[in-house]
Structure 1
Amino acid sequence: MEAKFCLTCGHELETRDIGGTPRRACPACSFVFWGDYSIGVGALVERDGKILLVRRAQEPGKGYWTNPGGYAEQLERIDETVRREVLEECGIEAIVTGVAALRDLPRNVHNLYVAFTMEYVGGEPVPDNVEVDGAGFFSLEEMESMNVAGFTRWLIDVAQRGSSAGLLIDSQPIVPLEGHGLFRK
Protein backbone atom coordinates (compact mmCIF):
# COMPACT_ATOMS: atom_id res chain seq x y z
CA MET A 1 0.00 0.00 0.00
CA GLU A 2 1.30 3.43 -0.87
CA ALA A 3 0.92 6.46 1.41
CA LYS A 4 -1.28 9.10 -0.22
CA PHE A 5 -1.64 11.86 2.37
CA CYS A 6 0.67 13.54 4.86
CA LEU A 7 0.38 12.22 8.42
CA THR A 8 1.38 15.67 9.76
CA CYS A 9 -0.72 18.18 7.78
CA GLY A 10 -3.00 16.05 5.56
CA HIS A 11 -1.69 17.46 2.24
CA GLU A 12 -1.48 15.06 -0.71
CA LEU A 13 1.97 13.47 -0.94
CA GLU A 14 4.22 13.47 -4.01
CA THR A 15 7.05 11.15 -4.98
CA ARG A 16 10.53 12.69 -4.64
CA ASP A 17 14.07 11.40 -4.91
CA ILE A 18 15.49 11.48 -1.38
CA GLY A 19 19.02 10.16 -1.09
CA GLY A 20 18.70 8.17 -4.31
CA THR A 21 15.44 6.46 -3.32
CA PRO A 22 11.96 7.48 -4.48
CA ARG A 23 9.95 8.38 -1.37
CA ARG A 24 6.51 9.77 -0.70
CA ALA A 25 6.98 13.28 0.72
CA CYS A 26 4.83 16.27 1.54
CA PRO A 27 5.25 19.40 -0.60
CA ALA A 28 3.64 21.52 2.15
CA CYS A 29 5.75 20.50 5.18
CA SER A 30 8.85 18.42 6.00
CA PHE A 31 7.10 15.02 6.33
CA VAL A 32 8.69 12.06 4.53
CA PHE A 33 7.09 8.61 4.50
CA TRP A 34 10.05 6.30 5.16
CA GLY A 35 8.10 3.06 4.76
CA ASP A 36 6.03 0.55 6.73
CA TYR A 37 7.81 -1.31 9.51
CA SER A 38 6.79 -3.64 12.30
CA ILE A 39 8.75 -4.90 15.27
CA GLY A 40 8.01 -8.37 16.58
CA VAL A 41 9.38 -9.85 19.77
CA GLY A 42 9.66 -13.37 21.08
CA ALA A 43 10.52 -14.96 24.42
CA LEU A 44 12.87 -17.81 25.16
CA VAL A 45 11.95 -18.75 28.72
CA GLU A 46 13.57 -21.81 30.27
CA ARG A 47 12.52 -23.59 33.46
CA ASP A 48 14.12 -26.82 34.68
CA GLY A 49 15.76 -27.45 31.30
CA LYS A 50 12.49 -27.03 29.40
CA ILE A 51 11.43 -24.21 27.04
CA LEU A 52 8.11 -22.34 27.23
CA LEU A 53 5.98 -22.86 24.11
CA VAL A 54 2.47 -21.83 23.13
CA ARG A 55 0.20 -23.28 20.42
CA ARG A 56 -1.15 -20.63 18.06
CA ALA A 57 -4.97 -20.48 18.01
CA GLN A 58 -5.09 -17.97 15.13
CA GLU A 59 -3.40 -17.39 11.80
CA PRO A 60 -0.64 -16.94 11.02
CA GLY A 61 0.66 -20.25 12.26
CA LYS A 62 -2.56 -21.71 13.67
CA GLY A 63 -1.83 -25.10 15.23
CA TYR A 64 1.94 -24.60 15.45
CA TRP A 65 3.84 -24.52 18.71
CA THR A 66 5.94 -21.35 18.96
CA ASN A 67 7.72 -19.30 21.56
CA PRO A 68 5.38 -16.64 23.01
CA GLY A 69 5.61 -13.17 21.49
CA GLY A 70 3.91 -10.42 19.58
CA TYR A 71 4.25 -6.91 18.22
CA ALA A 72 5.54 -3.76 19.89
CA GLU A 73 3.12 -0.92 20.46
CA GLN A 74 4.19 2.54 19.26
CA LEU A 75 5.16 3.92 22.70
CA GLU A 76 6.33 0.65 24.28
CA ARG A 77 9.94 -0.46 24.71
CA ILE A 78 10.50 -3.89 23.19
CA ASP A 79 11.71 -5.43 26.47
CA GLU A 80 8.41 -4.33 28.02
CA THR A 81 6.53 -5.73 25.00
CA VAL A 82 7.96 -9.22 25.42
CA ARG A 83 7.19 -9.29 29.18
CA ARG A 84 3.59 -8.20 28.46
CA GLU A 85 3.13 -10.73 25.65
CA VAL A 86 4.39 -13.67 27.74
CA LEU A 87 2.08 -12.72 30.62
CA GLU A 88 -0.93 -12.12 28.34
CA GLU A 89 -0.55 -15.27 26.23
CA CYS A 90 0.16 -17.80 28.95
CA GLY A 91 0.28 -16.24 32.43
CA ILE A 92 4.03 -16.61 32.94
CA GLU A 93 6.03 -13.86 34.59
CA ALA A 94 9.56 -13.53 33.25
CA ILE A 95 12.22 -10.85 33.03
CA VAL A 96 14.47 -10.03 30.11
CA THR A 97 18.11 -11.04 30.48
CA GLY A 98 19.38 -10.53 26.95
CA VAL A 99 18.90 -10.59 23.20
CA ALA A 100 19.44 -14.06 21.72
CA ALA A 101 18.76 -13.43 18.03
CA LEU A 102 17.43 -11.04 15.39
CA ARG A 103 15.48 -11.85 12.25
CA ASP A 104 15.22 -9.31 9.44
CA LEU A 105 12.37 -9.96 6.99
CA PRO A 106 12.14 -7.27 4.28
CA ARG A 107 8.74 -7.34 2.58
CA ASN A 108 5.77 -5.02 2.01
CA VAL A 109 5.78 -4.24 5.72
CA HIS A 110 9.43 -4.67 6.72
CA ASN A 111 9.53 -6.85 9.85
CA LEU A 112 12.30 -6.94 12.43
CA TYR A 113 11.96 -9.68 15.07
CA VAL A 114 13.95 -9.61 18.31
CA ALA A 115 14.18 -12.84 20.34
CA PHE A 116 14.89 -12.32 24.04
CA THR A 117 16.27 -14.72 26.60
CA MET A 118 14.16 -14.38 29.73
CA GLU A 119 14.46 -15.58 33.29
CA TYR A 120 11.40 -17.42 34.63
CA VAL A 121 9.95 -15.60 37.67
CA GLY A 122 6.65 -17.34 38.35
CA GLY A 123 3.30 -18.69 37.26
CA GLU A 124 2.08 -21.83 35.57
CA PRO A 125 1.44 -21.86 31.81
CA VAL A 126 -2.25 -21.29 31.07
CA PRO A 127 -3.29 -20.37 27.50
CA ASP A 128 -5.33 -17.20 27.03
CA ASN A 129 -7.68 -19.16 24.67
CA VAL A 130 -7.71 -16.22 22.28
CA GLU A 131 -4.27 -16.02 20.68
CA VAL A 132 -3.08 -19.38 22.00
CA ASP A 133 -4.92 -22.59 22.94
CA GLY A 134 -2.05 -24.48 24.54
CA ALA A 135 0.95 -23.60 26.71
CA GLY A 136 3.64 -25.44 28.60
CA PHE A 137 7.31 -26.05 29.24
CA PHE A 138 8.73 -28.76 26.97
CA SER A 139 12.02 -30.62 26.62
CA LEU A 140 13.81 -31.02 23.29
CA GLU A 141 12.75 -34.68 23.31
CA GLU A 142 9.08 -33.76 23.79
CA MET A 143 9.31 -31.19 20.98
CA GLU A 144 10.40 -33.88 18.50
CA SER A 145 6.82 -35.19 18.32
CA MET A 146 5.19 -31.73 18.40
CA ASN A 147 4.23 -29.44 15.53
CA VAL A 148 6.90 -26.83 16.39
CA ALA A 149 7.33 -24.02 13.85
CA GLY A 150 10.64 -24.03 11.99
CA PHE A 151 11.61 -20.53 13.09
CA THR A 152 10.95 -21.49 16.71
CA ARG A 153 13.16 -24.56 16.34
CA TRP A 154 15.91 -22.29 15.04
CA LEU A 155 15.49 -19.86 17.97
CA ILE A 156 15.67 -22.68 20.51
CA ASP A 157 18.85 -23.96 18.87
CA VAL A 158 20.37 -20.46 19.00
CA ALA A 159 19.43 -20.04 22.66
CA GLN A 160 20.64 -23.45 23.80
CA ARG A 161 23.64 -24.02 21.55
CA GLY A 162 24.77 -20.51 20.67
CA SER A 163 28.45 -19.76 21.12
CA SER A 164 27.85 -16.48 22.97
CA ALA A 165 25.47 -15.13 25.59
CA GLY A 166 24.11 -12.65 23.01
CA LEU A 167 23.49 -9.05 23.94
CA LEU A 168 22.84 -8.55 27.64
CA ILE A 169 20.61 -5.90 29.17
CA ASP A 170 22.63 -2.89 30.33
CA SER A 171 20.83 -1.88 33.52
CA GLN A 172 23.58 0.53 34.61
CA PRO A 173 24.87 2.43 31.55
CA ILE A 174 27.72 4.89 32.10
CA VAL A 175 25.34 7.70 31.07
CA PRO A 176 21.70 7.66 32.21
CA LEU A 177 19.51 7.48 29.10
CA GLU A 178 15.92 7.69 30.33
CA GLY A 179 13.42 5.63 28.34
CA HIS A 180 16.05 3.69 26.37
CA GLY A 181 16.24 -0.09 26.26
CA LEU A 182 19.98 -0.75 26.14
CA PHE A 183 21.72 -4.05 25.40
CA ARG A 184 25.45 -4.71 25.09
CA LYS A 185 28.05 -7.45 24.69
Structure 2
Amino acid sequence: MEAKFCLSCGAALELRDVDGTPRMACTACSFVHWGNYSIGVGAILIKGGKVLLVRRAQEPGKGVWTNPGGYIEQTELIHDTICREVLEETGVKAVVRSVVALRDQPRAIHNVYIAFEMEYVSGEPRPDGYEVDAAGFYSLEEMEAMKVAGFTKWLIHAALHRESGGLVEDKAPIVTLDGYGLFKA
Protein backbone atom coordinates (compact mmCIF):
# COMPACT_ATOMS: atom_id res chain seq x y z
CA MET A 1 0.00 0.00 0.00
CA GLU A 2 1.35 3.41 -0.91
CA ALA A 3 0.60 6.68 0.88
CA LYS A 4 -1.63 8.98 -1.18
CA PHE A 5 -2.40 11.79 1.28
CA CYS A 6 -0.27 13.90 3.59
CA LEU A 7 -0.11 12.68 7.18
CA SER A 8 0.46 16.28 8.30
CA CYS A 9 -2.20 18.33 6.44
CA GLY A 10 -4.26 15.83 4.42
CA ALA A 11 -3.44 17.25 0.97
CA ALA A 12 -2.59 14.95 -1.94
CA LEU A 13 0.91 13.54 -2.26
CA GLU A 14 2.82 13.51 -5.52
CA LEU A 15 5.93 11.69 -6.65
CA ARG A 16 8.87 14.09 -6.42
CA ASP A 17 12.66 13.83 -6.53
CA VAL A 18 13.91 14.33 -2.95
CA ASP A 19 17.71 14.25 -2.68
CA GLY A 20 17.98 12.05 -5.78
CA THR A 21 15.32 9.52 -4.72
CA PRO A 22 11.71 9.47 -5.93
CA ARG A 23 9.47 9.96 -2.89
CA MET A 24 5.87 10.84 -2.22
CA ALA A 25 5.78 14.48 -1.07
CA CYS A 26 2.95 16.81 -0.10
CA THR A 27 1.61 19.25 -2.67
CA ALA A 28 0.66 21.77 0.06
CA CYS A 29 3.27 21.57 2.85
CA SER A 30 6.80 20.28 3.44
CA PHE A 31 5.84 16.71 4.42
CA VAL A 32 7.81 13.90 2.75
CA HIS A 33 6.78 10.25 3.09
CA TRP A 34 10.15 8.60 3.71
CA GLY A 35 8.84 5.02 3.45
CA ASN A 36 7.18 2.25 5.42
CA TYR A 37 9.21 0.75 8.25
CA SER A 38 8.65 -1.54 11.19
CA ILE A 39 11.03 -2.31 14.04
CA GLY A 40 10.79 -5.60 15.86
CA VAL A 41 12.60 -6.66 19.00
CA GLY A 42 13.38 -10.06 20.43
CA ALA A 43 14.80 -11.47 23.64
CA ILE A 44 17.43 -14.12 24.13
CA LEU A 45 17.14 -14.98 27.82
CA ILE A 46 19.23 -17.87 29.14
CA LYS A 47 18.73 -19.15 32.67
CA GLY A 48 20.46 -22.23 34.01
CA GLY A 49 21.67 -23.17 30.54
CA LYS A 50 18.14 -23.06 29.12
CA VAL A 51 16.61 -20.55 26.68
CA LEU A 52 13.23 -18.86 27.21
CA LEU A 53 10.91 -19.74 24.32
CA VAL A 54 7.24 -19.17 23.54
CA ARG A 55 4.89 -21.05 21.23
CA ARG A 56 2.97 -18.74 18.92
CA ALA A 57 -0.83 -18.97 19.31
CA GLN A 58 -1.58 -16.89 16.18
CA GLU A 59 -0.51 -16.67 12.57
CA PRO A 60 1.98 -16.15 11.21
CA GLY A 61 3.79 -19.10 12.69
CA LYS A 62 1.02 -20.55 14.84
CA GLY A 63 2.40 -23.56 16.73
CA VAL A 64 6.04 -22.60 16.15
CA TRP A 65 8.42 -21.94 19.03
CA THR A 66 10.22 -18.57 18.99
CA ASN A 67 12.02 -16.22 21.30
CA PRO A 68 9.70 -13.66 22.97
CA GLY A 69 9.40 -10.33 21.21
CA GLY A 70 7.23 -7.85 19.37
CA TYR A 71 7.15 -4.45 17.74
CA ILE A 72 8.16 -1.13 19.24
CA GLU A 73 5.64 1.52 20.19
CA GLN A 74 6.04 5.00 18.70
CA THR A 75 6.91 6.69 22.02
CA GLU A 76 8.71 3.84 23.80
CA LEU A 77 12.46 3.29 24.00
CA ILE A 78 13.42 0.07 22.23
CA HIS A 79 15.06 -1.49 25.29
CA ASP A 80 11.92 -0.74 27.32
CA THR A 81 9.85 -2.42 24.61
CA ILE A 82 11.66 -5.74 24.88
CA CYS A 83 11.37 -5.77 28.68
CA ARG A 84 7.62 -5.14 28.35
CA GLU A 85 7.16 -7.76 25.64
CA VAL A 86 8.94 -10.47 27.65
CA LEU A 87 6.82 -9.66 30.71
CA GLU A 88 3.55 -9.56 28.72
CA GLU A 89 4.17 -12.79 26.80
CA THR A 90 5.75 -14.88 29.56
CA GLY A 91 5.29 -13.26 32.98
CA VAL A 92 9.09 -13.19 33.33
CA LYS A 93 10.75 -9.96 34.39
CA ALA A 94 14.08 -9.37 32.65
CA VAL A 95 16.45 -6.50 31.90
CA VAL A 96 18.60 -5.77 28.86
CA ARG A 97 22.25 -6.81 28.98
CA SER A 98 23.28 -6.10 25.39
CA VAL A 99 22.30 -6.06 21.73
CA VAL A 100 23.42 -9.38 20.24
CA ALA A 101 22.06 -9.43 16.69
CA LEU A 102 20.27 -7.38 14.07
CA ARG A 103 18.26 -8.47 11.02
CA ASP A 104 17.65 -6.10 8.12
CA GLN A 105 14.79 -7.22 5.83
CA PRO A 106 14.02 -4.73 3.03
CA ARG A 107 10.61 -5.29 1.43
CA ALA A 108 7.32 -3.38 0.98
CA ILE A 109 7.46 -2.58 4.70
CA HIS A 110 11.16 -2.50 5.55
CA ASN A 111 11.64 -4.55 8.73
CA VAL A 112 14.52 -4.18 11.16
CA TYR A 113 14.72 -6.66 14.04
CA ILE A 114 16.96 -6.10 17.07
CA ALA A 115 17.75 -9.03 19.36
CA PHE A 116 18.72 -8.36 22.97
CA GLU A 117 20.50 -10.61 25.43
CA MET A 118 18.37 -10.35 28.55
CA GLU A 119 19.16 -11.01 32.20
CA TYR A 120 16.56 -12.91 34.24
CA VAL A 121 15.17 -10.98 37.22
CA SER A 122 12.10 -12.92 38.42
CA GLY A 123 8.99 -14.88 37.51
CA GLU A 124 8.09 -18.29 36.17
CA PRO A 125 7.21 -18.62 32.48
CA ARG A 126 3.48 -18.66 31.77
CA PRO A 127 1.86 -17.94 28.42
CA ASP A 128 -0.31 -14.87 28.00
CA GLY A 129 -3.02 -17.08 26.42
CA TYR A 130 -3.45 -14.69 23.52
CA GLU A 131 -0.22 -14.22 21.55
CA VAL A 132 1.43 -17.33 22.97
CA ASP A 133 -0.06 -20.57 24.27
CA ALA A 134 3.06 -22.03 25.92
CA ALA A 135 6.23 -20.65 27.46
CA GLY A 136 9.23 -22.11 29.21
CA PHE A 137 12.97 -22.51 29.49
CA TYR A 138 14.37 -25.21 27.19
CA SER A 139 17.80 -26.76 26.68
CA LEU A 140 19.39 -27.03 23.24
CA GLU A 141 18.75 -30.77 23.42
CA GLU A 142 15.05 -30.27 24.19
CA MET A 143 14.79 -27.79 21.30
CA GLU A 144 15.92 -30.46 18.84
CA ALA A 145 12.53 -32.19 19.25
CA MET A 146 10.56 -28.92 19.09
CA LYS A 147 9.37 -26.96 16.07
CA VAL A 148 11.67 -23.96 16.63
CA ALA A 149 11.68 -21.21 14.00
CA GLY A 150 14.84 -21.07 11.91
CA PHE A 151 15.40 -17.40 12.71
CA THR A 152 15.15 -18.16 16.45
CA LYS A 153 17.74 -20.93 16.04
CA TRP A 154 20.02 -18.42 14.32
CA LEU A 155 19.54 -15.85 17.12
CA ILE A 156 20.34 -18.40 19.82
CA HIS A 157 23.45 -19.50 17.94
CA ALA A 158 24.51 -15.86 17.47
CA ALA A 159 24.10 -15.20 21.21
CA LEU A 160 25.93 -18.35 22.30
CA HIS A 161 28.81 -18.05 19.84
CA ARG A 162 29.44 -14.32 19.61
CA GLU A 163 32.95 -12.95 19.51
CA SER A 164 32.24 -9.79 21.52
CA GLY A 165 30.03 -8.62 24.35
CA GLY A 166 27.70 -6.90 21.87
CA LEU A 167 26.39 -3.37 22.21
CA VAL A 168 25.57 -2.27 25.75
CA GLU A 169 23.50 0.66 26.96
CA ASP A 170 25.53 3.82 27.57
CA LYS A 171 24.16 4.80 30.97
CA ALA A 172 26.59 7.72 31.34
CA PRO A 173 27.01 9.38 27.92
CA ILE A 174 29.44 12.27 27.63
CA VAL A 175 26.49 14.58 26.84
CA THR A 176 22.96 14.58 28.20
CA LEU A 177 20.52 13.31 25.58
CA ASP A 178 17.18 12.92 27.36
CA GLY A 179 14.78 10.50 25.68
CA TYR A 180 17.54 8.72 23.73
CA GLY A 181 18.37 5.03 23.93
CA LEU A 182 22.13 4.90 23.39
CA PHE A 183 24.09 1.66 22.95
CA LYS A 184 27.82 1.29 22.27
CA ALA A 185 30.51 -1.38 21.98
TM-score range, shorter-chain basis? over 0.9
What is the one-letter code of the residue matched to 1:92?
Answer: V
Helix, strand or coil: the match of 1:152?
helix
Corresponding residue SS for 2:82: helix
Number of aligned positions between the proteins? 185
Q: Is 1:184 aligned to 2:184, yes or no?
A: yes
Where does residue 155 of structure 2 map in the other structure? 155
Distance 2:89 2:181 in 1: 23
Partner of 1:57: 57
Q: Distance in 2 between matches of 1:165 and 1:147?
A: 29
Kindly report the root-mean-square deviation, in angstroms, between the aligned alpha carbons of the 2 structures.
0.7
Residue identity in the other structure for 1:178: D
Match of residue 13 from structure 2: 13
Q: What's the TM-score once normalised by structure 1's chain length?
A: 0.98
CA drift at 1:175: 1.4
Q: Tell me which residue corresponds to 2:73.
A: 73
Describe the superposition over 1:150-185 as per-residue Cα deviations: whole angstroms up to 9, x where unpaired.
Answer: 000000000011111111111111212111111110
**1:136 is aligned to 2:140:** no
Greater than 4 Å deviation, 4+ residue runs: none
> Counterpart of 2:92?
92
Gaps of 5+ in 2: none
For residues 98-137 of structure 1, what are the structure 2 equivalents within 5 Å? Answer: 98-137=98-137
Deviation, 1:77, is 0.8
- After superposition, the C-alpha distances for 1:115-135 in whole angstroms (9 at most, x for unaligned) are 001100000000001000010
Map of 1:27 onto structure 2: 27
SS for the counterpart of 1:4 is coil
Task: Output the CA distance in 1 between the equivalents of 2:173 and 2:49.
Answer: 31
Determine if the alignment matches structure 1 residue 83 to structure 2 residue 83: yes
| Alignment correspondent of 2:2 | 2
Instruction: Name 1:169's counterpart in structure 2.
Output: 169
- Distance in 2, matches of 1:19 and 1:177, equals 28
**What SS does the corresponding residue of 1:23 show, helix, strand or coil?**
strand
Residue 129 of structure 2 aligns to which amino acid in structure 1?
N
Q: Measure the CA separation in 2 of the matches of 1:93 and 1:137.
A: 14
Q: 2:179 aligned with 1:145, yes or no?
A: no
- Cα distance in 2 for partners of 1:175, 1:26 equals 36
TM-score by length of 2: 0.98
What SS does the aligned partner of 1:98 have? Answer: strand
Counterpart Cα distance in 2 of 1:141 and 1:148: 12
CA drift of 1:64 comes to: 0.7
Structure 1 residue 19: deviation in Å? 1.7
